[in-house]
Amino acid sequence: MTKTKRIGILTAGGDSPGLNAAIRGVGKTALGFYGMEIIGFRDGFRGLVTNRRLRLDGSVLAGILTVGGTILGTSRDKPHRMKIDGRARDMTAVIVNNYKKYGLSALVCLGGGGTQKNALRLTEAGLNVISLPKTIDNDVAMTDSSIGFATALDIATEAIDRLHSTAHSHHRIVVAEIMGHRAGWLALGAGIAGGADVILIPEIPYHVDKIVEAIRRRSRHGTNFSIVAVAEGAMSVEDARAFVAAENRKEKARNPRERNDAKLELAAIEARHAGNTLRLAKQLEELTHLESRVTILGYVQRGGTPSPADRLLATRLGSACADLIHENVFGVMVASRGNGTEPVPLVKVAGKRKTVPPNHSWVETARRVGTCLGD
């Protein structure tokens, strides 16, 4: 008699629209199509350590497709560096023991770049792990798209649409800060779709004078307002040079002291960068003599009902995940490929980031329609 497979599933990292749709996609395929059992672990990897779990049956999965966030809860805890009783401890062995104690055949991890690294660590510890890519930044490597990006793109675009009214009415510069620390997919996509006049992303360091020139050119042509879409991680050329130099020093450090000095320098640059959007708006106001206003979209981009595109993507990836578990394919991330899916080894995903290439079609499109990218 074949033993029924029991799957564990958790969501880790930041919340994202479509997580519940992915849980449902895995769960309904595993339960209804393959006759497996599903256990959900609460609050990411911590739930697997502290025995916080619930059985995911049909009644639990019913009605969650359109619900934002995650019914399992989430956290940014790392298996190898988890705070227990006030100090960081390596809980990998505890997770391995609990995996065996609960009789799991596989563990499904839904998350972004950090979760992919943690999934690889658990794979290397001997567990059968499969991951799904989730992040509104769309920066998980080796997948066409990540769960949550489509919804966030809709929200950010709608915000820019609405900002046009006040910018036009008051002859203002409106600077909209959009999420994206290291990748500019969201700001670039929303900026193009929303008709922003200036788009600033981390991959293309900007010159303030180039932005000012673009705004003045609009004024000379009788348009006394501008929309600036800026990713939170966008940097001026000067700051970007300092950041890259510090990162290079960290990589080339010959001893712990040099490495620590470089880390402190990077932290100082990051601290200076906090509030950069407000400083940029003030600079533009002073140099153009146009009133400026800042809108920081923040976590609103991660909340609410997932879009149909995200529900479809999450369901496809979740169902494909259950297929792979049935086929005993582990140590992979389920990637989106066109209208299909593809299992990609975690070693090819972990520690990598999908950033916007300088010659990407979205970048070229923005330039051709006259959008200033700050360079």
| Angstrom distance (rounded) from CA 116 to CA 78 | 11
Helices marked H in 253-275: 256-273
Instruction: Please indicate whether residue 137 is annotated as part of the active site.
Output: yes
CA angle 47, 333, 186 (to 5 degrees): 90
* Helix (H), strand (E) at residue 107: strand 106-111
| Angstrom distance (rounded) from CA 124 to CA 333 | 14
What residues contact residue 253 under an 8 Å CB cut-off, 6+ apart?
A: 259, 261, 262
What residues contact residue 284 under an 8 Å CB cut-off, 6+ apart?
A: 173, 175, 208, 211, 212, 215, 228, 290, 292
Our measurement of the distance from residue 92's CA atom to the centroid of its chain's CA atoms, rounded to an integer in Å, reads 25
Do β-strands 37-41 and 6-11 pair in parallel, antiparallel, or remain unpaired? parallel
283 burial via Cβ count (<10 Å: 0-12, 13-18, 19+): middle
* Helix (H), strand (E) at residue 325: helix 308-326
Q: Which of 345, 335, 295, 291 is closest to 143 using CA atoms? A: 335
Q: Which of 37, 20, 126 is closest to 79 using CA atoms? A: 126
Catalytic-labelled residue, pool 43, 85, 90, 137: 137
Residues designated as active site: 137
